[in-house]
Structure 1
């Protein structure tokens, strides 16, 4: 199943459902529920980013703001400008765009004043839609049913383009203190995202592909849970809770492009590779890359979404005979994400940088409250 199912009409959904005995209305109802799950996942991504002790409310506020801008803007562009029907597919495609942006802002959280994330959202949607057209309009036969390329890769490298254009080096000097409470948010979000991930990667698949897709997704995720633990223990003799809670989701990122193609064994191996790649990037690449570029990937998005997304995008080329356009999809998304991200970063650079970075006090009147807190 190609990602071109994103353009399926209700009639085509009904036709795909007939062989399994599922009516078109029932198929759309289940698709509606998977779409709601993706909205839930978007909110959970915010909690996945709440590890900084004094930067929790600001993350939640920023997530809500970028959703409030990106989802309507995508729907208006998709229906009013491109002339597509406003249906459940459009709703899900819109939330795919929004969750991509929420992932992307993890790269530059704290780099901007909260109000400027509204402008970042406006700049993001046309770039995302251009990449979407490149993958499924310009190229032919690209396999990416679960968004390894469209969502995860684009999020990581658009976000990186923003920080490269913005060049707010001061954020790297801000302490990122954690607490048991703040890291517990990340644990909860990661475990709930684990449960909901099959809804995301199967949201646009026909009914007969959903259960195999769910099985493949959980196999990939459990493999990354295992390999992340083994590698962290082997390399550090301890478990970094933040690296662990992030990298265990890399199997879900990597399986996206082939969730409807892989066998159970292949899915498990893809999850192993995704988890291993993410863990090694967190341990060895993250600090090195930030030093070399002089900018900070606040949430380590490159390690969880960028590299496993590339891996997932290349799997169909290696295992399932995807056309060469699959390679161009990966390379093109990397370039489009970085270039449009840099342009957005240069525009955002024209505005004042925040005085308070990685701190809820940038948006909320917390100084008086904190003065009375017990250390």
Structure 2
């Protein structure tokens, strides 16, 4: 079957499911404001917990959008990253919600929505591994296929195993994103990525700086979203301390290896401490968290500078955004730290299981993506040209302004066309 026909039938099926839900309200789970129920702590009510989680919920949605800007550095591939993010979000959140409601029988509340956006932010990170190597419509398919895999991993970690410690998602979010993405990458086998120059501009890298710094500020909302109110402050403290650790150590590592700071390496690696603190989040104190962050920054920057080129060459595939260096290896370090300071050996079992299940399910998805992608010309890889109307790789003068004589053709001045 041709890829266009596959997309057509998948789209119709997806729309049909949405329409069935719309015209069959009896099948819907109505939301009832919880009143008169005790909350997660003795001095809070359920409604207070719901309002407490509302702000964190919104912050995580904001963080997901910022992930797009964290990947927005390729000169000719910026709008496409944003569109890929939105399509992946839609596919994964809707699919995840449908499974939770109609298969698992769960009701809609703040926890329901938070878990849905956790699923979505995981796969949005994951597409960074193979971003730009599949067709635009396939990002919607990626999101739909990812949700059941993520729910299976969640079941393995917290139902099949007992005692796994991962409140901030070092494993469930970051490791899954890296190794599910790598599973798909290996199956897709797009070797032409090595030929791409990945040209950047100052403004595109500035977007990455802005996204990274805003993510740093918002990160405590992400890792404490499901915690009871009496643990939130502690989670905030350890998160910021771990983050400050990687801010320092990533800088020192960059300078030690290359004498100057590579802005793309640093803007990613400075977040490594916050990735790693996810598992031991509320099991360590501020200064231990700082130490975890210091180690994470060194590991992440070193992986970007040294491991990344070697690993991609040996594997024969290219991790476009270096997801393995920020989310994979620091996620493993976080799981190990969780084992050391809280959970013991069960975290190591979880770590291994997460890698295996993620690679396998990601590989299956990659096979489907490769089979449905069809031919994709080199010029369409990492490019907005084939996707958008009005796309131009270089700045163009506004139609109502002209350049002064003697100035470069694309330089705008205050001289106005009459």
Do both share a fold (TM > 0.5)?
yes
Are 1:365 and 2:386 counterparts?
no
Are 1:337 and 2:354 counterparts?
no
8 A contact 2:339–2:346 mirrored in 1: no
Are 1:169 and 2:166 counterparts?
no
Aligned to 2:19: none
Which moves more between the two structures, 354-363 or 193-202? 354-363
Aligned to 1:246: 268
CA distance in structure 2 between the partners assigned to 1:28 and 1:121 by the alignment? 27
Unaligned residue ranges in structure 1 (runs of 5+):
1-8
8 A contact 2:75–2:393 mirrored in 1: no
Q: Secondary structure at the match of 1:175?
A: coil
CA deviation digits over 1:202-236, x for unaligned, max 9? 00000000001001100000110000111111221
8 A contact 1:256–1:312 mirrored in 2: yes
Aligned to 2:73: 51
Aligned to 1:102: 124
8 A contact 1:354–1:362 mirrored in 2: no
CA distance in structure 2 between the partners assigned to 1:53 and 1:231 by the alignment? 27
What TM-score do the two structures reach when normalised by structure 2? Answer: 0.84
CA distance in structure 1 between the partners assigned to 2:341 and 2:54 by the alignment? 32
In structure 2, the CA distance between the partners of 1:206 and 1:238, relative to structure 1 (3 Å rule), is same
Which residue, 108, 112, 115 being the options, matches 1:93?
115
8 A contact 2:170–2:331 mirrored in 1: yes
Are 1:17 and 2:41 counterparts?
yes
8 A contact 2:92–2:145 mirrored in 1: no
Higher share in helix: 1
CA distance in structure 2 between the partners assigned to 1:111 and 1:12 by the alignment? 52
1:222-301 mapped onto 2 (5 Å cutoff)? 222-301=244-323
Which moves more between the two structures, 229-238 or 300-309? 229-238
Which residue, 368, 376, 381 being the options, matches 1:347?
368
CA distance in structure 2 between the partners assigned to 1:223 and 1:64 by the alignment? 32
8 A contact 1:112–1:353 mirrored in 2: no
Q: CA deviation at 1:110?
A: 0.9
CA distance in structure 1 between the partners assigned to 2:120 and 2:139 by the alignment? 13
Which residue, 181, 184, 198 being the options, matches 2:206?
184
In structure 2, the CA distance between the partners of 1:180 and 1:316, relative to structure 1 (3 Å rule), is same
CA distance in structure 1 between the partners assigned to 2:143 and 2:367 by the alignment? 14
Unaligned residue ranges in structure 2 (runs of 5+):
1-32, 398-409, 412-418
CA distance in structure 2 between the partners assigned to 1:131 and 1:236 by the alignment? 39
Are 1:198 and 2:220 counterparts?
yes
CA distance in structure 2 between the partners assigned to 1:289 and 1:12 by the alignment? 56
Aligned to 2:155: 133
CA-atom RMSD in angstroms: 1.9
Which moves more between the two structures, 310-319 or 249-258? 310-319
CA distance in structure 2 between the partners assigned to 1:264 and 1:371 by the alignment? 47
**Greater Cα radius of gyration, structure 1 or 2:** 2
What TM-score do the two structures reach when normalised by structure 1? Answer: 0.93
Q: CA deviation at 1:362?
A: 2.7
Please list every run of at least 4 consecutive aligned residues from structure 1 whose deviation after the TM superposition is greater than 6 angstroms: 9-13
In structure 2, the CA distance between the partners of 1:54 and 1:212, relative to structure 1 (3 Å rule), is same
CA distance in structure 2 between the partners assigned to 1:369 and 1:358 by the alignment? 12
